Amino acid sequence: MLLGAFSRRKVEVMKAIRLARHGEPSEVLEVEDVPVPEPGDGQVRIRILATPVNPSDLLYVRGFYAGVQARFPAPVGFEGVGIVDALGPGVNGLTSGQRVSVVNGQGGNWAEYAVVPAGDLFPVPDEIPDEQVASFVVNPASVILMVRRLLAVPKGEWLLQSAAGSELGRMVIRLARRDGFRTLNVVRRRESVAALEALGADAVIVSTEGPIDEQVRSIVGPEGVKYAIDPVVGETGTQMFKALHEDGRMLVYGSLTGEPIRVGDDPRYILAGRRIVEVFWLGYWLPRLTDAERRQLGEDIVALMREGILETSPGRQYSLDEIGEAVAQAEQKGRQGKVFLVLGK
């Protein structure tokens, strides 16, 4: 096993945030001292520098993230930035001391060290700041795969999206301006409209000011929209489904309300046309990319980050010991910027 300069330090115990049971993050997350993990075949140990608090992390803590089964006491944290610390047998193409974006499909980046498969690392150029590398995959990759690959939204077409003021929603707005399609953006509060219009949103509707489907058709016409993405579901997702064109397609990539989409309430929308509602989960798509597709995805993200398109707005920073404050801030309404856990703070 090849060991780098960082791994030669006699570090045997590390701090890690762990989950003993599902529940409210402020109640069930604990900071523990645990053994520093050793990399096995094809694995790499990473010294974590920073890791974001994403909605997917908090869904996992609450037990609503079906794609990953927690084994208690469970590690937490799906993405981050770190330094290659130790290489397991059979790992090529990486060097000790190299900075990488870390995708941790089973969780574990909310810790001082993490061990992941070498294929789950994205080397990133030095000029991209740590907070951007820490948020390199979950939102940027989801935007590219949903909008460019799965929906392949053509120039001039409308894309309807909810939670438009989120970090991902803002990325979509900037990408639309670059790629030439139009965005119709759903927000909950009137005070959010001006900021999104200044960012380049073509239209913004407020869900509390009338049915979403009626507002959509008043803008795009009676046929509705052909493309939509939704992380909210519940009543918002139900009304977005009703706003679809008869050949419309909607990707559901989250469940912020934890409530179902109702597609059978009105026969007009299930007995005519070919409307499709489809789940998008990044954890499903990333492993199915070929090596060439993964490299291209990484290159696309880097290029669009350099243009400021897939840029994450940095918010407040916390240490691991401040996890309670960090998760509370991450769910604060009207919060500005992504919350990060920064190691060594």
What's the mean per-residue pLDDT of the chain? 90
DSSP assignment of 170-206 equals HHHHHHHHHHT-EEEEEES-GGGHHHHHHHT-SEEEE
Domains of the chain (ranges plus CATH)?
6-135+313-342 (3.90.180.10), 139-283 (3.40.50.720)
**Shortest CA distance to 141 belongs to which of 180, 101, 177?**
101
Q: Which residues pair with 79 in a beta bridge?
A: 103
Please tell me whether residue 158 adopts helix, strand or coil conformation. Answer: strand
Q: Tell me the per-residue pLDDT of 191-218, one tens digit each, with 9 for 90 and over.
A: 999 999 999 999 999 999 999 999 999 9
**The pair of three-digit structure tokens given for residue 271, joined into one six-digit string:** 């007995």
Q: Which residues pair with 19 in a beta bridge?
A: 29, 74
Identify the pLDDT of residue 250.
96
Whose tokens are 């900021």? That residue is: 195
Whose tokens are 């009105």? That residue is: 266
**The pair of three-digit structure tokens given for residue 79, joined into one six-digit string:** 């993405």
Q: With contact defined as beta carbons under 8 Å apart, do 97 and 84 qualify? A: yes
Whose tokens are 């090849």? That residue is: 2
Q: Tell me the per-residue pLDDT of 69-89, one tens digit each, with 9 for 90 and over.
A: 778 899 999 999 999 999 999
Q: With contact defined as beta carbons under 8 Å apart, do 112 and 48 qualify? A: yes
CA dist list (Å): 275 to 249, 252, 335: 6, 13, 34
Query: Cα(222)–Cα(172) distance, rounded to whole angstroms?
Result: 24
Query: Cα(121)–Cα(98) distance, rounded to whole angstroms?
Result: 11
Q: Which residues pair with 158 in a beta bridge?
A: 182
Is the pTM here over 0.75, yes or no? Answer: yes
Q: With contact defined as beta carbons under 8 Å apart, do 208 and 162 qualify? A: no
Q: With contact defined as beta carbons under 8 Å apart, do 230 and 253 qualify? A: yes
**Shortest CA distance to 330 belongs to which of 58, 113, 142, 11?**
58
Rounded to an integer, the average pLDDT of 285-308 is: 93
Rounded to an integer, the average pLDDT of 330-343 is: 87
Identify the pLDDT of residue 326.
94
**Shortest CA distance to 153 belongs to which of 117, 130, 178?**
178
- Least reliable range by pLDDT among 55-59, 315-319, 325-329: 55-59
**The pair of three-digit structure tokens given for residue 279, joined into one six-digit string:** 């789940």
Q: Tell me the per-residue pLDDT of 149-192, one tens digit each, with 9 for 90 and over.
A: 999 999 999 999 999 999 999 999 999 999 999 999 999 999 99
Residue 68 has pLDDT above 80, yes or no: no
